[in-house]
Amino acid sequence: MSGRPAMGSISHHEIRQELERILQSRHFAKAPKKRRFLEFVCQETISGRGGQLNEHLIGMEVYERGPDFDPHEDSIVRVQAHELRKSLARYYEQEGKRDPIRIDLPPGNYMPVFTRAPEEALAPAAEATRAGRPGRRWERLALLLLLGATATLSIALVQFYRYRPAEPAWAVSYTPAMEWFWGRFLPPAAPPLIVLPVHPILRAAHEGDSDRTRASGYVIPKDELTEFRDTVHYRELKQFAFVPSTTDFTAIGETLGLVRLFQLFASAGQSVRVKAARLVDFEEVKASNAILLGGNQAWSGRIFLYKEGFWFHEGLIKNMRPQPGELSVYRPVFDPVTNQLRRDYALVLMLPNENRERRILLSYGIYTQGSQAAIEFMTNPDRLEELRRALLAASPDGKTLPDYFQALIETTVENAVPGPSSLVAVRLVPEEGPAVAGLVREE
């Protein structure tokens, strides 16, 4: 079975339009988990994975339950599904009674059903009543005036929303509550150095490359790479020749995270310096407050040698001293059917620089989605407060915030985009721990 419900002539675009109408309604606008539940099951169904929807999956993806989530002991999915069905029914009784498409979640099932409303149901009831009643000139005149006024107001509203300044989709602002984490990087400190990874890759060669570059490529017949059939490369390139590159690619998650860091520092009156990892030597890192994004950097391993806590090694995050309830290894999770990444992990490390007045902050995930989620975590005041409380609880006296620490972050991933992130665990790096210079000598 494909897991796709019978949609008839209903297109995915129509379904997404209806979903958007529902999510913006008063029944869902202020209910983020209910919105997420409906969005998730609809997207999975549209993508052909509706048959795999179950309580365990929804509990993990929507309600951020861990892999050990047991629906028999925790009924949150069943309870929320019942509430979701009631909200959908109320929506279609009121705001959505004239909608052309209907989305329902049948009892005992988590795969939504999409149906098209009969045409007669779409005609406003008032039209039928008016058609059977003798018309009067003043009624028609009043109706025309009302329609004219409505049209004028509509045009004015369209012009207002079209030309008003756009608001950032996810603006980030510095607040005093973030001082404990970011204070060392802000004025009067010098602008921090942010280092982006440059991953070695095989990229598709094109006509703009030199003859020498194209000659170094590895040719793969197009018909063996059907996954690329819908891409511009497949249509435009005469052949698929993949050439090695260590200069051209910057990870998407780290780059999107960089935008958040720009917003954060700008709101605090701080400028930043940004460089690609291959253009930064280690002396420059030691001389600055440095923020290293992404673990795939030529010399990041020199810093990342404090192994008593979490250790990023061989594409996994290893927990060298597991505490109760923790895993010894944290590995990414993939969808068993589509092989898409569904869960990623990232590390945030606040470490001393050679000059202990300066800091080195590392933030990187196993995949780029984890890196993006970790940066979003660090620029979110609520998440930082969660981290602060966890560090206080882990400190020896329960009152003093440690200067140096590790934090393990978990994030869900959907359609290659990180979703909600959560704090898994923290580790303290001892005050007497080695500075960067000591770490270098250990290499």
Report which of residues 7 and 373 the model is more confident about: 373
Query: pLDDT tens digit string along 241-298?
Result: 888 887 776 678 888 899 999 999 999 999 999 998 888 888 888 888 999 998 655 5
In the chain, the amino acid numbered 106 is P
What local confidence, expressed as pLDDT, does residue 172 receive?
85
Give yes or no for a contact between 376 and 418, defined as CB atoms under 8 angstroms apart: yes
Strands 273-276 and 193-196, sheet pairing: parallel
Distance in angstroms (rounded) separating the CA atoms of residues 26 and 438? 58
Whether 373 shows a pLDDT value over 80: the answer reads yes
In the chain, the amino acid numbered 205 is A
The percent of residues above 90 in pLDDT, for the chain, comes to: 38
Give yes or no for a contact between 343 and 412, defined as CB atoms under 8 angstroms apart: yes
Distance in angstroms (rounded) separating the CA atoms of residues 264 and 262? 5
Q: Output the CA–CA distances (angstroms, integers) from residue 187 to 183, 184, 222, 390, in the order listed.
A: 8, 8, 54, 27
The whole-model pTM stands at: 0.60
Distance in angstroms (rounded) separating the CA atoms of residues 285 and 193? 7
Of 23-37, 51-65, 246-260, 364-378, where does mean pLDDT reach its minimum? Answer: 246-260
What local confidence, expressed as pLDDT, does residue 309 receive?
86
Query: pLDDT tens digit string along 330-350?
Result: 999 998 877 889 999 999 999
Query: pLDDT tens digit string along 120-167?
Result: 555 554 444 344 444 444 444 444 444 444 444 444 434 433 444 444
What local confidence, expressed as pLDDT, does residue 305 receive?
56
- What beta strand segments (E) does 117-239 contain? 193-196, 201-204, 218-220
Query: pLDDT tens digit string along 374-420?
Result: 999 999 999 999 999 999 999 999 999 999 999 999 999 988 899 88
Listed in sequence order, the residues at least 6 apart from 22 whose beta carbon sits closer than 8 Å to its beta carbon are 28, 38, 88, 91, 96, 103
DSSP string, 80-127: HHHHHHHHHHHHHHTTTTT-SEEEE--TT--S-EEEEPPHHHHS-HHH
Q: If DSSP codes are grouped into helix, strand and coil, which group holds residue 423?
A: strand
What local confidence, expressed as pLDDT, does residue 82 receive?
92
What local confidence, expressed as pLDDT, does residue 153 receive?
43
What local confidence, expressed as pLDDT, does residue 433 receive?
52
Dihedral sign computed on CA atoms, order 242, 247, 249, 251: positive
Listed in sequence order, the residues at least 6 apart from 306 whose beta carbon sits closer than 8 Å to its beta carbon are 349, 351, 406, 429, 433, 439
Tell me, what DSSP letter sits at residue 358? S
Listed in sequence order, the residues at least 6 apart from 203 whose beta carbon sits closer than 8 Å to its beta carbon are 242, 243, 245, 248, 249
What local confidence, expressed as pLDDT, does residue 124 receive?
52
Report which of residues 121 and 58 the model is more confident about: 58
